[in-house]
Chain A
Amino acid sequence: MHVISSPPPDQTSAQERLRIALQDGLPLSPRPYQALAQQCGLSEQDVIEALLTWEQSRLTRRFGIVINHHKIGYTSNAMVVWEVADSEVNRLGAAISRTGLVSLCYQRRPDGPDWPYNLYCMLHGKSREEVLQRLQRLKTQCGLQDTPCAVLFSLRQYKQCGGRYAHKRPSAPVKEAL
């Protein structure tokens, strides 16, 4: 059992500290959960149980290695957005997911006449050609040949990190206008 000098913090704030401590990932030492526990004023067992609870309550979708696809040769990706009828969106979303050709597939809110797209998916490949070939297969397999869509290849990655919804700083930074 750990010893702390101050009174035991309530579980909510301890869990919040754990989320913040985990934003930079697990420390690469033999007892990483113990190291996190010491940082957060919890026991090693508390940390492991909290992570299990997060997974069981589906607060987290996965716990593991987060890869930068880019560094292993997956240098091309495109976000493909489709305009489909509301009555068709669930069927097509499920069909796109089943192909195994996409890493993500979401229904999103359209935004006015210049952005009628309501179904989004993400395609990855080792080249632009490979991504386009996958898109062709996706269209054929799901009957999307005549569905209005836009293909937004990624040109630059300015930032990629884990969702930092637990913030050390509570409010948005004040910016000067450009």
Chain B
Amino acid sequence: MSALTSPTSTHTPSTNTIELSGLEKAILSDYQKGFPLTPRPFYTLASQLGCTEAEVLACLQRLQQLGVITRIGPVFNHRRAGASTLAALRAPVGQLQDIAELINAYDEVNHNYLREHDLNLWFVVTAPDADHLDAVIRNMETATGLKVRRFPMVRPYHIDLGFRPDFD
């Protein structure tokens, strides 16, 4: 099994939860949006947090290596930046792993979850335009022999503006 398709259990015992320093918690809480657009952004963070640029970089490197930070960068409004939809299919239990791997292999898929329902594999497909999106989904249907259901967004009421973790 390749690293790409290695599933992450969502029932990791809390004992596996990573110990975070005060500085790491502050960085994670405060910089999910409004990351400084200054020539030396890590220096800007350091001066706001009362530490050195080297300490900030070391923290971020550790958090990225541990997988706590996926990346530092833009989160796009998909509707403005191309075409996207939430999609789902009903994968027969015996074929689940193969189908999940097949869906994962598309560059156009950025989230892919097994959920507790008959309609069990849920993923987000994002493409530069509607035609490309349609072609990818039809390609998935041919490849899996399964109907891919589409649930496009009509209107956002609350979008992901970062998440303030409760570090108790």
Contacts and interface: CB of A to CB of B under 8 A. Distances in A.
Interface of A: 22-26, 28-34, 44, 48, 51-52, 54, 57-77, 79, 90, 93-94, 96-97, 102-109, 111, 115, 118, 120-121, 124, 126, 150-169, 171-178
A61 B115 contact: no
Nearest to B6: A158
A59 B144 contact: no
B80 A104 contact: no
Interface string B145-167: 10001111111111111110101
Interface of B: 4-5, 7-12, 14, 17-18, 20, 27-28, 31-35, 37-43, 53, 57, 60-61, 64, 66-78, 80-82, 84, 86, 95, 98-117, 119, 122-124, 126-128, 132, 135-136, 139-140, 142-145, 149-163, 165, 167
A150 B108 CA distance: 27
B71 A24 contact: yes
Contacts of B98: 178
A59 B75 contact: no
Given A64-B31, A105-B157, A158 B71 contact: no
Contact of A71 (B18, B113, B122, B159): B18
